[in-house]
Chains A and B, each alone.
Chain A
Amino acid sequence: MDLIGNLATGFSVALTVANLAYCLAGAVIGTLIGVLPGIGPVATMAMLLPITATLPPTSSLIMLAGIYYGAQYGGSTTAILINLPGESSSSVTTIDGYQMARRGRAGPALAAAAIASFFAGSVSTLVIALFALPLTAVALRFGPPEYFALMVFGLVSSVALASGSTLKAIGMILLGLLLGLVGTDLYTGAPRFTFGSMDLADGIDFVAVAVGVFGLSEILRNLEDESPTRSAAIQKVSGLWPSREDLRRIVAPTLRGTFIGAALGILPGGGALLSAFAAYTIEKKLSRNSREFGSGAIEGVAAPESANNAGAQTSFIPMLTLGIPSNPVMALMIGAMIMQGIAPGPNVATEKPELFWGVIASMWVGNAMLVLLNLPLIGIWVRLLSIPYYVLFPAIVAFCAIGVYSVDNNAFDLFEVTVFGLLGYALVKLDCEPAPLVLGFILGPMIEEHFRRSMIISLGDPSVFVTRPISAGLLFLAAVALVIVSLPAIASKREKVFVDE
């Protein structure tokens, strides 16, 4: 069977000594930043992007992927032990995980999180392998109008699934698209919005935008309130292994969580956070032990942890098969591919099978490493939390500066970091989510190219987007999604969901 052959190719790539080392490095860095609040996978990947550009393409993607799912694991550790989600996607885990820890059951909670995550990671690796080729085959038949419609659908659903005001998210997308267009026009060579600056001729540097909007503005937000919030009171973790009763109780929640996460992860804008929240809510309704939820139910740990891991992983599907990022992390992966000289899109699977399947196989390897790494080393991770923030954030600023500078050795990129840090912070203060802006920024040039090509094919007739069935269908879905999130009943419920986080 093809699938087995492909996976064999993948594992032969992923299991080379060098790639195992990069996978481990990614997973360790990911866990580290997952444990540390105040620095997320996006800023870290942006920082390391220039360094990975010196590696072979497959190794660099393997390492970056490791950072992403490693952060999901790390985030849950602090969520359980000190009621502080290292990553936003672990925030639901704090509800029951911390309660378990307070009752001296931190060990089983951590083990349940690790087992559920590992199971979800393994299943979703298979899901990616199963779905990747059929989707690629469909995508290869896409013309410019279909691609345009697909990107519109992607951007709209990222709005639907983002928190906060729908209008503001649309505005952020438009602003991102416009900023993405700065630079030389591909068709005519005309410089756009550069004001004669050579530094802007190649466009605004993506790494600078990501570091500014996610790195600096996050630091500023953390510095708003400097009262010490981290409790050093960490119970000693004893009795790591869950009882047979615990294991029995987490089977069904893990299965359901994996399914929910895998399904939501594929959607643009979905990914880990929403998956975790949905899984917890559904589990609370379905579980026979729903009374225990909120006071230390092990199901309340297993369900969101399996879902956030599954969601984190299946969000690779649109990126690998269509070349379309569904969240900022995937936008960075695409940025990494472009820096390596690989054109993202459906051709990657056929032209670079060793890269495509190597990255997929490495996710399973990485998940296995994380289980081995996390459970025995919990003590070390927890000790990291005693590093005070006033030591941490200057180091983050320094690494950001070095990372951005090393892309092109150009000081101008650092000025862009400051500009986007300030813009990002101002917009966050006004309740505008930065993620849609970054998605728009990455997609800006692509969406314009497909728009212009479509209009050339159709001789200037915009109806081309609705007369071709696939394109019409995608635009229809986008419209439906927009209408649904604007309905007052849904809108108020949505607000409540994201407040509950």
Chain B
Amino acid sequence: MITNAKDLATCGIFIAFGVFFAATALGTLDVGSAMRMGPGYFPLLLAGLLILIGIVIGVRGFVSTSAPLQPAPWRAVLMISLAPIIFGVTVRGLGLPAAIFLSTCAAAMASRRMSVPRAVIVSGAIAVFSTAVFVYALRLPMPVVGSWLSGS
């Protein structure tokens, strides 16, 4: 059978989001009437349209073809997703330089051309540079030494 994998996946994502928003709107919000709209009216309308578009794309996906999906760089996807989370979890406790260093190390390892020593050097340089620029030059209110380290 000829199918368009990209269209079918898009259809799935759109319908999933549409159903999610529609069900939440119906379940937790007052929809109201056209005359007196509740907080759920407009989201329900949009979610309905999104499901409709999803279905049309899905139908089209069964009758057309697409170029095959390129494989995703899974290592990069994992490491790049981790980096902001590491930064968010550690910035208050460890302070800006350490949080930047750890998250940048993770991000750097996303590249297949990266080795551990190189990642450490690059991340160290970025940590020093951003602390100088953001904390000392631009005076953003971020701790240099976090609460976990200063014992408070």
A51 touches B140 (CB 8 A): yes
Which residue of A224, A401, A421 contacts B70 across the interface (Cβ within 8 Å)?
Answer: A224
- Within 8 Å by CB of B81, from A165, A175, A188, A418, lies A418
Query: What is the bound-complex CA distance between A422 and B50, given in angstroms?
Result: 20
Contacts A185-B39, A455-B34; A405 near B88 (Cβ below 8 A): yes
Instruction: List B contacts of A398 (CB < 8 A).
Output: 87, 100, 103-104, 107, 126-127, 130
Q: Is B108 an interface residue (CB 8 A)?
A: yes
B91 lies within 8 A of chain A by Cβ: yes
Q: Encode contact with A along B66-87: 1 for CB under 8 Å, 0 otherwise.
A: 1001101100110011111101
Return the CB mask of A35-68 against B: 1 if under 8 Å, else 0. 0000000000000001100100000000000000
**B53 cross-chain contacts in A, Cβ below 8 A:** 167, 170-171, 174
Tell me, rounded to whole Å, the shortest Cβ–Cβ distance linking B89 to chain A: 7
How far does the alpha carbon of A219 sit from the alpha carbon of B76 in the complex, in Å? 9
Residue from the list B14, B42, B82 in contact with A175, Cβ < 8 A: B14
Which residues 116-132 of A sit at the B interface, judged by CB distance below 8 A? none
Which residue on chain B has the smallest CB distance to residue A222?
A: B76
Q: Choose among A170, A223, A399 the residue that contacts B76 (Cβ–Cβ < 8 A).
A: A223
Contact B57 A397 (CB under 8 A): no
- A169 (CB) vs chain B CBs: closest residue: B53
Contact partner of B29 among A165, A192, A220, CB < 8 A?
A192
A/B pair count, beta carbons within 8 Å:
194
Chain B contact residue count (CB 8 A cutoff): 76
- What are the residues of chain B within 8 A of A190 when measuring CB–CB? 29-30, 39
Contacts A397-B107, A455-B37: A422 and B113 contacting too (C-beta < 8 A)?
A: no
A435 CB-CB contact with B under 8 Å:
no
Contacts of B72 in A (CB 8 A): 220, 224, 425, 429
Return chain A residues, CB-CB under 8 Å to B136.
Answer: none
Q: Is A405 touching B34 in the complex (CB atoms < 8 A)?
A: no
Instruction: Provide the A387-400 mask, 1 if CB < 8 A to any CB of B, else 0.
Output: 00111011101111
Quick one: closest A residue to B45, CB to CB?
A: A451
Q: List the A side residues contacting B84 at CB < 8 Å.
A: 216, 397, 400-401, 404, 414-415, 417-418, 421
Cα distance A226–B113 when bound, in Å? Answer: 8
Please give, as numbers and ranges, the residues of chain B lying within 8 Å of A187 by CB-CB distance: 39
Say how far A234's CB is from chain B's closest CB, in angstroms. 22
Report B61 CB to chain A, min CB distance, Å.
Answer: 10
Q: Contact: A175 with B39, CB < 8 Å?
A: no
A472 interfacial by beta-carbon distance below 8 Å: no
Give the dominant DSSP class at B's interface.
Answer: helix
Q: Within the assembled complex, what's the spacing in Å between the Cα atoms of A398 and B133?
A: 12
Of all chain B residues, the one with the shortest Cβ separation from A227 is: B113
B144 at the interface (CB under 8 A from A): no
A142 at the interface (CB under 8 A from B): no
Cα separation A415 to B107 with both chains bound (whole Å): 15
The answer to whether A223 and B111 have CB atoms under 8 Å apart is yes
Q: For A426, give the chain B residue with the smallest CB separation.
A: B13
Q: Which of B20-72 contact A (CB under 8 A)?
A: 21, 24-25, 28-30, 33-43, 46-47, 49-50, 53-54, 56-57, 60, 66, 69-70, 72
Contact status of A51 and B138, CB under 8 A, knowing A220-B76, A393-B107, A460-B33? yes
- Contact of B77 with A390 in the complex, beta carbons under 8 Å: no
**Residue B50 contacts which of A175, A390, A427 (CB distance < 8 angstroms)?**
A175
Does any Cβ of B come within 8 Å of A501's Cβ? no
Q: Which of B115-146 contact A (CB under 8 A)?
A: 118-119, 122-123, 126-127, 129-130, 134, 138, 140-142
Q: Which residue of A lies closest to B83 (CB)?
A: A397
Given A174-B14, A174-B53, A414-B87, 7 extra CB contacts under 8 A:
A193-B21, A398-B126, A402-B134, A404-B84, A411-B89, A459-B35, A460-B33
Binding site for B on A (CB under 8 A): 50-51, 54, 165, 167-168, 170-171, 174-175, 177-178, 181, 185, 187-188, 190, 192-193, 216, 219-220, 223-224, 226, 389-391, 393-395, 397-402, 404-406, 409, 411-415, 417-418, 421-422, 425-427, 429-432, 448, 451-452, 455-456, 459-462
In order of increasing CB-CB distance, the 7 nearest A-B pairs are A460-B35, A414-B88, A411-B88, A185-B39, A223-B76, A397-B107, A460-B34
